[in-house]
Amino acid sequence: KTDPKLVSTSKFLSLVLRHQPEVVGMSLDDEGWLDIDELIANSNKHGKPLTIEALHEVVATNDKKRFALSEDGLRIRASQGHSVSGVDLKLDEKTPPDSLYHGTIAPFIHSIQAHGLQKRSRNHVHLSADQTTAIKVGARRGKPVILCVAAGVMHQDGHLFYLSANGVWLVDAVPTGYLSFP
């Protein structure tokens, strides 16, 4: 159902817009944007064929709506998932639902119990609004284990929550006291 060419374009855009814009000789601006014309020119220059049509098709059809265009349609960015430091998406903080979920795998549980959820290589810890999504996130790594986060209480205690344009909840960390383990 998913066209392999679009998947490969999506993976390439994830690499450039979240992790390594330097592979096409570019750097993200403070809010994570790249100019689309420059991105296409630089990608082609670096041997990564990218067309405006493929880019727009990925933005429109991507299963997780990973990428967003600026209002004027001239720039593109990833909606979440960055590891590039210094990117501030300027999301408004938002009151989360009482419970959010995090999908992980059993080998990480001991460390998560000790240290809470940490952002590791990314700029935020990613939380899901529903368990089905969390199961998919965990299943990327193995047999999923779903943790419940007491997000409402955590928010009342002063922790800031952000909701990405594609519906992923982002926090700086989840201390272990707010986690329930299965």
Contact residue for ligand HQG among 137, 146, 149, 154 (CB under 6 A)? 137
**What does the DSSP assignment read for 54-117?**
HHHHHHHH-TT--EEE-TTSSEEEESS---STT----PPB-PPPSEEEEEEEGGGHHHHHHH-B
Task: Give the x/- contact pattern for ligand HQG in 152-171, rule: CB under 6 A.
Answer: ----------------x---
CB 78 within 8 Å of CB 27: no
Q: Does 46 bind ligand HQG (CB under 6 A)?
A: no
Q: Does 143 bind ligand HQG (CB under 6 A)?
A: no
Q: Does 126 bind ligand HQG (CB under 6 A)?
A: yes
Q: How many other CB atoms are there within 10 angstroms of residue 112's CB atom?
A: 18
Considering only residues 47 through 66, tell me which ones interact with ligand HQG, judged by CB under 6 A. Answer: 64, 66
Of the pair 39, 171, the CB lying nearest ligand HQG is at 171
**What does the DSSP assignment read for 142-153?**
SSEEEEEEEHHH
**CA dist., res. 20 & res. 11, Å (int):** 12
Length in residues, the chain: 182
Task: Give the x/- contact pattern for ligand HQG in 1-20, rule: CB under 6 A.
Answer: --------------------
Task: Give the x/- contact pattern for ligand HQG in 82-121, rule: CB under 6 A.
Answer: ----------------------x---x--xx--x-xx-xx
Identify the H or E element spanning 127: strand 125-127
Residues that bind ligand HQG (CB under 6 A): 64, 66, 81, 104, 108, 111-112, 115, 117-118, 120-122, 126, 137, 141, 168
